[in-house]
Amino acid sequence: MAVDKLSYEIFSLLETKFLFGAGCLSSGPGTPARAFLDGCGRVRVLAIDGCGAGAEDALLAAAALARLEAGLRKQTGDTDARVADFFDVAAGAGAGGVLAAMLFLRGPDGRPRYSAQQALAFVAGSVGKKDWGGRRGRWAKLFRGGSRGGDRAFRRVFGDATLRDTVAPLLVPCYDLATAAPFVFSRADAVEGDAFDFRLRDVCSATCAAGGEPVAVRSVDGTTAIAAASAGVAAMGNPAAAAITHVLHNKQEFPLAAGVEDLLVLSIGSGASVPTSDGSRTPMPTRSPSPREVARVTAEGVADMVDESVAMAFGHACGSNYVRIKASKAPMALQAETAAAAAGAMLAQRNVESVLFRGRRLSERTNAEKVDALAAELVKEQERRRCSPLPNVAIKQVATPRLSSATTASSGTATARTASTMPSPASWDSRR
């Protein structure tokens, strides 16, 4: 999926909505067809931005998802509820791709393998309690192209699981240097054929390849080869537009999604930017930015542009159908002594959000308040779906499981190899 195509899709959506009205995208709010679709509920989409090489960059996403999961458990009374139980599709780039893959990985029992709290522990526990945001910890190794430490970490987390081994559709972008174009790893494509099925550990290595040599990735059957670089380079650091486009065009899995009114999107931005000073009154020495810093600033700018475009597409439904979370002031979080304190600081911030025909403004709610409100909405959607006359989601199942990989059967039962290669979260620290 090329960047040009993504841009065309999202801006065509905007143009159609503003020039011809919302009725051309879906049935009018007062029509029987619209009422019928409303009764079927909204397709729930999770999108996590690409993040940098520091643990603080991914901390906001991990902390927000852990808080969301805790809220879902409290409101439903289900102590084993997982984030993946309340979303129909997930998209993540860079560190966001790692988090999305962890939360949507199917375990041996057919349930999501990792909780959001375990994903947060993976991020926050990557470095010591002091200097938790340093660039020398295990988390930073994940973003070095061809890093042995990163490969070992992904192998411990995902084993031999592939894109087929997720509980719901998963989209993870990277940049293919061989074709000089973005490439999107997709579970929907993986189910269709082995040529598009990749091991999740390779998918994560591809989307996190921010430096060094490009990561060579091959499909499980060896027929598709990619020379991967970071998704941020591909101007797809914010995968929300890709996820929305996927849902609206994938009529096989999402037959009733006719427009943005039929979606409920949570988009989580990166937690911090590289600070320009150390927080003191004395500025840092002026120097020319490195190519990596320039690429990062560019990627963050593109991510904000995607957010503004998506917010405009949702129009007046933005805030209820489209929820955006992002840290606004990095230094506050970076000065915290522990990851827990930094996470709390970022969740307490109010981010800048786009408002239809009014530009941008500081949000009236904090990130934490947005997460809590979204938890209530997701529980309502779950209840609405149980009473729906028709299912609005029909996830593709694997007809003939591949015996040579960790792919599980469509019934949710696991092969012996899957069970043996699924690591325990307790082993992360002991096997560092």
Q: What is the pLDDT of residues 21-76, one digit of tens each?
A: 444 444 444 444 444 455 668 999 999 998 655 556 688 899 999 999 999 999 99
- The larger pLDDT score, comparing residue 62 to residue 282, is at 62
Is residue 64 situated within a structural domain?
yes
- The larger pLDDT score, comparing residue 339 to residue 133, is at 339
Measure the CA–CA gap between 68 and 261, rounded to whole angstroms: 23
Q: What is the pLDDT of residue 222?
A: 93
What CATH code is carried by the domain that includes residue 334? 3.40.1090.10
Is residue 406 situated within a structural domain?
no
- Report residue 121's pLDDT band, with 50, 70 and 90 as the boundaries: confident
**Region 285-297 average pLDDT:** 64
Is residue 212 situated within a structural domain?
yes
> What are 290-294's contacts with CB under 8 Å, separation 24+?
292/210, 292/211
Is residue 428 situated within a structural domain?
no
Q: Which stretch, 45-59, 146-160, 313-327, 418-432, has highest mean pLDDT?
A: 313-327
Alpha helices, DSSP H, located in 142-209: 148-158, 187-192, 200-207
- The larger pLDDT score, comparing residue 312 to residue 51, is at 312
Q: 208-217, pLDDT tens digit by residue?
A: 876 557 889 9
pLDDT over 90 at 103, yes or no: yes
Per the listing, tokens 């486009």 go with 245
List Cα–Cα distances, 36 to 45, 247, 250, 379, 392, in angstroms. 21, 19, 20, 20, 11
Measure the CA–CA gap between 217 and 163, rounded to whole angstroms: 14
Q: What is the pLDDT of residue 209?
A: 78
- The larger pLDDT score, comparing residue 194 to residue 38, is at 194
Q: What is the pLDDT of residue 340?
A: 81
Q: CA angle, corner 204, sides to 135 and 294, nearest 5?
A: 50
What's the domain range around 311? 43-273+292-387
Mean pLDDT of the chain: 76
Q: What is the pLDDT of residue 114?
A: 96
Measure the CA–CA gap between 177 and 110, rounded to whole angstroms: 36
Measure the CA–CA gap between 120 and 406, rounded to whole angstroms: 25
pLDDT over 80 at 390, yes or no: no
Q: Compute φ and ψ for 199, nearest 5 degrees.
A: -70, 140
pLDDT over 80 at 18, yes or no: no
**Region 112-124 average pLDDT:** 91
Q: How many domains in the chain?
A: 1
Is residue 284 situated within a structural domain?
no
Is residue 165 situated within a structural domain?
yes
- The larger pLDDT score, comparing residue 303 to residue 428, is at 303
Which of 54, 63, 46, 208 has the alpha carbon at shortest distance from 121? 63
Q: What is the pLDDT of residue 28?
A: 46
**Region 277-294 average pLDDT:** 55
Measure the CA–CA gap between 268 and 339, rounded to whole angstroms: 18
Amino acid identity, position 150: G
- Find the range with the poorest average confidence among 136-145, 351-360, 418-427: 418-427
Whether the Cβ atoms of residue 244 and residue 310 lie closer than 8 Å to each other = yes
Q: What is the pLDDT of residue 398?
A: 75
- Report residue 292's pLDDT band, with 50, 70 and 90 as the boundaries: low
Read off the pTM: 0.80
Q: CA angle, corner 405, sides to 403 and 408, nearest 5?
A: 70
Interacting residues of 346 by C-beta distance below 8 A, sequence separation 6+: 59, 60, 63, 271, 272, 327, 332, 333, 367
The β-bridge partners of 183 are 174
Q: What is the pLDDT of residue 288?
A: 72
pLDDT over 60 at 364, yes or no: yes
Is residue 265 situated within a structural domain?
yes
Q: Compute φ and ψ for 172, nearest 5 degrees.
A: -135, 115
Measure the CA–CA gap between 178 and 226, rounded to whole angstroms: 7
- Report residue 389's pLDDT band, with 50, 70 and 90 as the boundaries: confident
- Find the range with the poorest average confidence among 195-199, 274-278, 372-376: 274-278
Q: What is the pLDDT of residue 369?
A: 96
- Report residue 9's pLDDT band, with 50, 70 and 90 as the boundaries: low
pLDDT over 80 at 165, yes or no: yes
Q: What is the pLDDT of residue 31?
A: 43
**Region 383-408 average pLDDT:** 68
Is residue 21 situated within a structural domain?
no
Q: What is the pLDDT of residue 376?
A: 96
- The larger pLDDT score, comparing residue 236 to residue 242, is at 242
pLDDT over 80 at 271, yes or no: no
pLDDT over 70 at 403, yes or no: no
Give the whole-number percent of the chain exceeding pLDDT 70.
63
